[in-house]
Structure 1
Amino acid sequence: MTIPELKVIGVNNNQVSFEGFAINSSNNPNHVENNFIIDNLKPGEVKKFTYRFADRIINHAGAFSGTVTITVKNTLEEAMPLTVKYQDVNGNQIAEDQVINGYIGDSYDVSTEKYNLKIDGYTLKEVQGSPNGILAETPQTVTYIYEKNATKAKDVVVHYQDANGSKIADDQFFSGNVNAPYDVSTKEYQLEISGYTLEKVVGSVTGFLSEEEQTVTYVYSKLSDNEKNEDDSATIGKDKIPVNQAETPKNKGKTIMTKNKTTVSKDKSSLTADKLPKTGEIMNHSWVIIGLLVIIVAFFIAVIKHKRKK
Structure 2
Amino acid sequence: ELLVKNNVQTQSGVTIDKSNFDKYFTINGSANYDKQSGELILTPDSVWQAGSATSKTQIDITKNFSISMSVNLGTKPQSQSGGDGLAIGLYNDTPGKVGFGGNGFGIGGLNQAFGFKLDTVYNNAGNSDVAADPIEFEDLLHKDGAFAGFIKHESNTLTTIDGLSQEISAPDGNYRELTFSYDANTKNISVNYDGKFWSYNVGTTFSSDHISLIISAGTGNFNNQHSVIVHSLDATLDSEPVMVKYMDENQASIAPDKMLIDTLNAPYDVTSNEYKIPITGYVLDDTKLPNNATGTFTNSEQTVTYIYKVDQSTLDVKDSTIYTGDKWKPQDNFVSATDVDGNKVDFSQLTVDDSNVDTSKAGVYDVTYTYDGVSSVAKITVKDKQTAVNVHDSSLYVGDTWKSEDNFDSAFDKDGNKVDFSQLTVDDSKVDTSKAGVYDVTYTYDGVSSVAKVTIKNKMDNGNEFSNENDDQKLSINKSNKNELPETGAEKVPIGITLFGVLSIILSLGIFLGRYKIKNKR
- Tell whether the structures are fold-level matches, with TM greater than 0.5: no
TM-score (normalised: structure 1)? 0.33
Higher relative contact order (Cα pairs below 8 Å, separated by 6+ residues): 2
